[in-house]
Each structure stands twice: as structure tokens, then as C-alpha cells.
Chain A
Amino acid sequence: MKKNETNENEGLLVRRIKNGTVIDHIDGGEALNVVKILGITGTTQEALSIATNVPSRNMGCKDIVKLTNRELSKEEVDRIALISPRATINIIRNFKVCEKKGVEIPTLIEGIVRCPNPGCISNTNEPIRSKFNVLPKGLHCYYCDWVISKDLTSHII
């Protein structure tokens, strides 16, 4: 009985996709931020499934994001490491996992986070994207030296 319940839940939450990307082991509650950080908006053409706060043996609870017919590049997925460093990426082709990889924190991120400093040149109409060096103390603005050390998600563009 217990087994059936689990299967039923799995059927609802982890439904297989034919082709695309499954981002698993996202920290619980961060799935919407992951979608945001990947630049996936309401206008996306791909079918997108999000499961939040799914019970997980290792993590307590986790989120899952499934994106059909789109394979995310390494540069795209590494951005996720900023908010969910334990996330894993599964590239699915014809229902099979063809690639499975973790995420690595990038050394530089561009155009993802807005500098909180209102006096920063990156918050003007100049033809540049925001640029941050990823340092142990936080995100360091390449332009104005401002450091974002907490609440990163509130600064995602």
C-alpha cells in the first residue's frame, strides 16, 4: 500500500519527459528562482513543469524543474549554483538520461543580477549588462565594487 502511494506520487510529480532537461535536487522552495535565473519567462514556448517541496531522502525536501525540448548549456545551468549548489542536471533524449552533471559556481556572471547600488553605472541606459565577480564573500560588482552578500534572489533581474 505504501509502495503504491509512492508510485502514485512519483507518477504525478516526476513524470518522464521525452526530450529536454530535468533539473533535480534544487533546494526546497527555490524552483521559481531557478526558472527566473535561467531567464525562462511566461512567453517561453517550451512546456515547463515545476514541482516544489517534494520529499527527498537526502535533502528533506527538494524542488524539480522539467523543461521539454530544450537542452540547457553548461553556462546556463551553472548560474543555478548561485542559489542551489546541490542541483543536478539531467539531459533527456528519447526518455533516456543521456547526460547527468552537477552545477559549478561560475567565476563571473553577466546580466542576471541587478546591482543594488543606485549610483552604479550599470543601472543607467549605457549599453552594458551588469557584471559580477563571484567571490567567497558574495557577488562583487565589476563596475562599482558593491558586494551583494545576502538575499541574492531579490536582485535577480
Chain B
Amino acid sequence: MELRHLISIGDFDRHEIDKLLDHARQLDQGTYDKNALYGKILATLFFEPSTRTRMSFESAMARLGGTSLSVGSVEACSIAKGETLADTIRVVSGYADAIVIRHPKEGAARLAAEFSTVPVINAGDGAGQHPSQTLLDLYTIQQSMPLDKIDVALIGDLRYGRTAHSLASALSLYHARLHTISPKGLELPATLAAELSDKGMQIVEHDDLEGVISEVDVLYVTRIQRERFPDSASYFNVTSSYRITPELLCGARNHLIILHPLPRVDEIDPRVDKLPYARYFEQSRNGVPVRMAMLMRVMQ
């Protein structure tokens, strides 16, 4: 039987996404077999830091009766001795029933899928793909509104932000209109923008946040990384212009929701947390039912 890897959101069609989100909803309501993955082992290979993704995969596995294995830090495993990822994957395939991988190189998860004898789930590869994040983003949006034909603003680092890339690709399946607001040099890659336009997606570029707040249903905020800027002064200058504050949200639509893949630094004023628009902590929690559905899909 062919292994069911989950590498890129582009591997899913709309029907498959809808089916997985429906399943996640059922799991979220608590009506599921608590031993659905009893006796199964998940290996979590994280070659980059992670809090939410790793813990929510492990939590999802535990809730389904399975167990998780981890190598700890990169320094503690054989990669530090010069072992190739291909060899690591071959070895770990023998210890587990599925592998979740995060790696700094783009395409690492696809390489892992080539060498693995068990299903591989991509938990982020460089600036590439992060399909489980996208699915939980869609799930969170769907808790508030149907996914069809909504206006979504992507804010922040759209050049290197893999969550923004994956989400934009998925939203193109739902005929969303995309609004982009990003600092100069961190715009959506031209190749991705062209690909989305080819799929019929309308993309509107904005210069400032004020102009977009009243036009959208979802604000998807991403972190702007300090290392992208030559000095602290230019970093703070840019981040202050992309900060979501209660004052900025005065003209927002009533049903607006604000999402953020987290961790946030300065992008969202903590005062926004108490407003009804803020959904980023729910979004983070939604990682568990969505990843439960993903684990069941690959291991059952």
C-alpha cells in the first residue's frame, strides 16, 4: 500500500482539506476512540526550535492512545556527527509508525518521504511548507465563517514566512481575495504571487495597515524577524508600522478575526488579546484536533 505522507498543502485538493477539517471538528467535540492509535509510535524529529507544533503533535498522539519518541536537540543526535538526513530517516523509520519532521532546509520533508518506510508529516521546512499549520489556520477561520470568498490580509514577513505561503495557496482553493502588507524587501515572492494569480486569486497590495483593516474578514499577522534588517533602528522603525493596536481596529468589521501562528514579539499589542477579534490562542489550541486528524489519516 502506498504510504500517505503529508508534505505540502499543494498535495491536497479542496475535497481532502474539507474532509480533514470535518474530521478535526468531530475529534474536537470529544467523540472519538481514545485508543485509536494505541500501540503506535510517532517519532518527532525537530532540527529547528518549536514549542507549539511539537507539543501539539505529541499531545494529539497521546490523546489517541499512542506514544511519541524524540531525539531531543540536534546536538544530541547523529546529525551532529555528520550523518545525512537520509540515513537518519532510514534508521528512525525502523523505530516508529510515522515521522514528524521540521528542518531548516527546504524540501527536507520530501527527501525524508523518499527514504522513509513509514508516513512522513512535514512540520516546516525552511521557508517552504508547513501544511499542519495551514490546516489549523483554515480550521480556526472556519470556526467563525465559511472559507469561501473571504477577504484575508497577510501582514508582515511574506517573503520568508512559510505559514503565509501555505495559507495563501490553500485559500486560492476557496476563491479568497488576498490583501498583502509587508515591509519593502519582504513582499510575497513574485513566483508565488504569479502562481496564485494563475489560479484566479485576486491579490491586492497595500502600503499601510489603516487602509486594509475595514476591508477584510481575517487579519493574518506574522512575525518580522530582526535578522532580516541591518540594524535594530531600522527593525524597530518597520515593526512599529506593522503593529496591531486596539486603536487601529476601530474601523474593523464586526466579525473580523485576528490570527497569528505565534510566537509573537511586537506585532500585536497585548491589549488586543482581550478584544473579540483575537483568535490566536484558540488557533494554537486548534493544533491538537487538526493534528489528531492528520495522525489518524496517515496511521490508520
Contact = CB atoms under 8 A, between A and B. Distances in A.
Interface in A100-139: 117, 119-122, 124-128, 137
Contacts of A146: 106, 191
Interface string B61-103: 0000000000000000000000011100000000000000001
B114 A128 contact: yes
Contacts of B126: 119, 144
A146 B106 CA distance: 10
B261 to A, nearest CB: 19
A26 interface: no
B86 A127 contact: yes
A12 to B, nearest CB: 46
Kindly name the residue among A122, A142, A143 whose own CB sees the greatest number of chain B CB atoms within 10 A.
A143
B87 to A, nearest CB: 8
A121 B84 contact: no
Question: Which secondary structure dominates where chain A touches chain B?
Answer: loop
Contacts of B110: 121, 142-143
B85 A126 contact: yes
A147 interface: yes
Nearest to B126: A119
A121 B107 contact: yes
Contacts, number: 55
A141 interface: yes
B111 interface: yes
B228 interface: no
A128 B86 contact: yes
A137 B128 CA distance: 19
A145 interface: yes
Contacts of A122: 107
Interface residues of A, number: 19
Interface residues of B, number: 23
A126 B106 contact: no
Contacts of B85: 121, 126
Given A119-B126, A119-B127, A128-B114, A144 B107 contact: yes
Contacts of B127: 119
B106 A144 contact: yes
A141 B107 contact: yes
B120 interface: no
Nearest to A125: B84
A143 to B, nearest CB: 3
B290 interface: no
A39 B178 CA distance: 45
A120 B106 contact: yes
Please indicate which of the listed interface residues A125, A128, A142 has the most CB atoms of chain B within 10 Å of its own CB. A128
Contacts of A137: 194-195, 198
A120 B86 contact: no
A146 B198 CA distance: 16
Contacts of B198: 137
17 contacts: A119-B105, A119-B127, A120-B106, A121-B103, A121-B105, A121-B108, A121-B110, A121-B111, A126-B84, A126-B111, A128-B111, A137-B195, A142-B110, A143-B107, A145-B128, A145-B129, A149-B191
Closest 4 CB pairs of A and B: A143-B107, A144-B106, A144-B107, A121-B107
Given A121-B105, A144-B125, A145-B128, 18 more contacts: A119-B104, A119-B105, A120-B107, A121-B85, A121-B103, A121-B106, A124-B105, A125-B84, A127-B86, A128-B114, A137-B198, A142-B110, A143-B106, A143-B111, A144-B106, A145-B107, A146-B106, A147-B191
